Amino acid sequence: MTERPVDRAASGERAGSERTPSSEPEQPGNATAKHHNVSLLSVATTTADRVTTSADIEARLRGVLRRLRLPMGLLERVAGVIERRNWGEGQTFQDAAIDAGRRAMAEAGVRPDEIGLLINTSVTRPHLEPSVAVRLHHGLGLPSSAINFDIANACLGFVNAMSVAAGMIDSGQIKYALVVDGEDADQVQLNTIDRLNQGGRNRKDFMSEFASLTLGSGAAAAVLGPADLHPEGHRIVGGVTRAATQWYDLCVGSVDGMFTDAKMLLKGGMELVVAAWTEARAHFDWANMDRYVLHQVSDVHTNAFVEAIGIPRDKVPTTYQRFGNVGPASIPITLADEVESGGIRRGDRVFLGGVGSGINTAMMELHW
């Protein structure tokens, strides 16, 4: 990853500043945080071997599409998803997450025994308990002293985990944190295709499950550590989260399928994004970032996000065309892809953001 000197002046205030009645504007706290000594040291991804095109999926749904008078090419035309990845023979999302974690630590120059915190953010889980984190903790060879747990918050988990880890580093509770995510879209897509092929579905039913067909598999990991010890790192300045949980039932998913009221989810999500963006102006200047790395859903969602907050479309890299929606892993996958391609360079200001089912939104600023 590109090296960048520590910029203490850009680090902002310490998260958790107390609010006083006369403070204008409102000080960071609760859902707004600034970090004073945390850097992203590395981000690594593990790509699934098997490529599944949208044409492959639609070929399996040809009869349903014909009966409902829906055109072939719908996934690519509406969502912009040309292909997505699925795990090959012998691959699992957990092994892929472990692989990404190992490479992230190697890239950061941090040993497993130095990790004080592991957060798994995977939506995918083979069982309700124990946490996925325990399997990853063991596979990564982390010490007994490393705190480990899952954060489950739909597609925002990775950014949420970075914020939690940054706060713990700032407080001195830990020195290094490893955030990991692995996703497996295979079963939910197979179940969705089988159910749609059983008949008795109308157009509304089909479109409520459309999002399941855009999902992809993949894994990502990131290491965070103290900025003063890593001038080569990338400063985590801070960020905001906001909630509109009255919309808790607009997108509900399990291994059986994901059912979405796409129109209302988009409307509610963009209203929340605008509100959060507007409130964040008191603490952050995000109007002219060098890159805006957004959660990868589709053409429709990306264009809506861009229009809602008024940012240049050419500063928004996208990967959903190749990888689909990889849940919480999509932001780090896109970030790593943009770094590798040279789209993000030393000195750049980078915005991470997205909307997750629930509805929640999370936004974060990095100084590269």
Angle, vertex CA 318, rays to CA 314 and CA 320, nearest 5 = 150
155 belongs to the catalytic site: yes
The token duo for 238 is 């801070």
> What type of residue is 213?
L
Q: Could you say which of 114, 155, 209, 365 is catalytic?
A: 155
The token duo for 63 is 């009869």
- Rounded to an integer, what distance in angstroms lies between the CA atom of residue 178 and that of residue 66? 47
Q: Which residues are 257's β-sheet partners?
A: 254
**Residue 12: which region, alpha, beta or left (left: phi > 0; alpha: psi -120 to 50)?**
left
Tell me if 23 sits within 8 A of 282, measured CB to CB. Answer: no
129 belongs to the catalytic site: yes
Return all residues near 174 (Cβ < 8 A) that are at least 6 apart. Answer: 116, 117, 147, 165, 168
Residue by residue, DSSP assigns 69-125 as: T--TTHIIIII---EEEE--TT--HHHHHHHHHHHHHHHHT--GGGEEEEEE--S--
Residue by residue, DSSP assigns 44-70 as: EEEE-SEEEEHHHHHHHTHHHHHHTT-
- Rounded to an integer, what distance in angstroms lies between the CA atom of residue 65 and that of residue 273? 34
Length of the chain: 368
Residue by residue, DSSP assigns 187-227 as: HHHHHHHHHHHTS---HHHHHHTGGGGGB--EEEEEEEEEG
Query: Is the CA virtual torsion 112, 113, 118, 123 positive or negative?
Result: positive
Catalytic residue numbers read 129, 155
